[in-house]
Amino acid sequence: METAAKTREYYAFDEVREWPVVDGWSVCPADPNFRVSVHHEARIHPSVLFGRGATVKADAVIGSGAVVGSEARVGFDAVVSTWAVVEAGAKVGHGAIIGFDGRVVAGAVVESGAAVGAGARVGAGARVGADAVIGSGATVEDGEVVKAGVVVGA
């Protein structure tokens, strides 16, 4: 059953668990070189777009229209990942990391290589620049812009 819809560098799918699993990676039926790793307990809306090599841990929640870029990781830095959330319409760039209990609110953008620490929150419409770090428990307010390479609350 073909459930993948290809866009330039992303795939969306109805259910990750329908993709065949090879060496722990879910493999897109339309492109065997395109792999993502999504824990079977993660809750993913079918409209989410994933880039190659994206990884989502258990208990993560990713809302409608969100984008998780290639090599991005959601729900990391914990022995047991808990409730990392990427809300509807949010974008997580290439190689970005969202720590456990991290929250990227609707419409927010976390650019390539940025890190959102454990329990940190990126507000609605906020933008976290490339390679910026939002420390554990820190908050980026709605609409705020954090420039590339800046460290907040670490």
Q: How far apart are CA 146 and CA 150, in angstroms?
A: 7
Q: For residue 116, list its beta bridge partners.
A: 98, 134
Residue given tokens 């812009």 in the structure block: 145
Cβ atoms 132, 118 nearer than 8 A? no
Note the pLDDT tens digit of each residue in 28-53: 777 888 888 888 788 888 888 889 99
Q: How many CB atoms lie within 10 A of CB 46?
A: 12
Taking only the tens place, the pLDDT of each residue in 128-149 is 999 999 999 999 999 999 999 9
Q: What is the largest CA-CA distance in the chain?
A: 46
Ordered structural domains, the chain, with CATH: 5-146 (2.160.10.10)
From residue 103, alpha-carbon distances to 13, 19, 96, 141 in Å are 23, 27, 13, 12
Find the length of the chain.
Answer: 154
Q: pLDDT tens for residues 100-131?
A: 899 999 999 999 999 999 999 999 999 999 99
